């Protein structure tokens, strides 16, 4: 496959996004953000590498202004490191950082899933089931980057259902870094299907069974720790 060099260390296949035909709308930040994040998760843009607005704009067929906004969002999520007088750099969480992130996630998500059980309604659960379906489809198509991103989005949507803004905001600072750690540390051969555990959690939410939901979330996070940390 042809490649477009972003710099000396990061490479991205050309045509990452299709060029616009006549009459098509211009791509927006919300269109480009998942594509760049998935390129990072698939390591088409490699961990620790430096990028430029210009090269990303050329690779994705959008303006530097759009790229700048995407990088700002990824920086807020700590996926991209922005420093004055330095090119943007892709973060690369090490094992100790990953351990701390997962510990913080467990403390946060057990509370969130308990809160979510107190106020589930069909209209709240439908977006969760839609994310699970998209995640399953990405896994079946062997689309690793989208599957990792959608798995993280499931947890963020669950936090919205819980209705605690500060906890949801805190979780939003942890999930993208977890996704990056999965992409960086987990073997590409891993065929673990998180969507099945996500589905079981939603089933517990639907019945309002907080105890079952908490047990399932703990088991899910146990499996995540095993995948990323193993016996370290």
Shared-domain flag, residues 54 and 105: no
Q: What local confidence, expressed as pLDDT, does residue 122 receive?
A: 79
Q: What is the largest CA-CA distance in the chain?
A: 55
Q: Would the pLDDT of 10 be above 60?
A: no
Q: What local confidence, expressed as pLDDT, does residue 123 receive?
A: 83
Higher pLDDT, 16 or 167: 167
Shared-domain flag, residues 139 and 214: yes
Q: How many domains does the chain have?
A: 2
Shared-domain flag, residues 61 and 167: no
The pTM for the full model equals 0.81
Cβ neighbours of residue 135 closer than 8 Å, sequence gap 6 or more: 147, 150, 151, 154, 194, 195, 198
CA distance 208 to 216: 13
Q: What local confidence, expressed as pLDDT, does residue 5 receive?
A: 41
Shared-domain flag, residues 82 and 127: no
């Amino acid at each position: 496959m042809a490649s477009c060099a972003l710099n000396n260390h990061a490479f991205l296949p050309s045509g990452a996004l299709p060029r616009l035909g006549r009459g098509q709308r211009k791509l927006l930040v919300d269109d480009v953000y998942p594509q760049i994040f998935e390129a990072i998760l698939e390591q088409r843009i490699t961990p620790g590498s430096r990028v430029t607005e210009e090269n990303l704009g050329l690779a994705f067929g959008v303006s530097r202004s759009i790229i700048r906004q995407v990088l700002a969002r990824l920086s807020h999520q700590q996926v991209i490191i922005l420093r004055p007088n330095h090119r943007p750099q892709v973060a690369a969480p090490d094992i100790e950082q990953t351990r701390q992130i997962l510990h913080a996630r467990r403390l946060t998500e057990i509370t969130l899933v308990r809160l979510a059980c107190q106020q589930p309604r069909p209209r709240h659960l439908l977006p969760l089931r839609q994310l699970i379906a998209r995640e399953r489809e990405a896994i079946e198509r062997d689309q690793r980057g989208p599957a990792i991103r959608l798995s993280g989005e499931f947890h963020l949507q669950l936090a919205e259902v819980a209705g605690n803004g500060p906890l949801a905001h805190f979780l939003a600072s942890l999930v993208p870094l977890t996704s990056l750690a999965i992409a960086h540390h987990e073997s590409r051969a891993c065929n673990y299907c998180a969507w099945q555990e996500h589905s079981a959690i939603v089933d517990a939410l639907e019945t309002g069974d907080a105890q079952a939901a908490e047990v399932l979330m703990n088991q899910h996070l146990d499996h995540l720790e095993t995948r990323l940390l193993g016996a370290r």
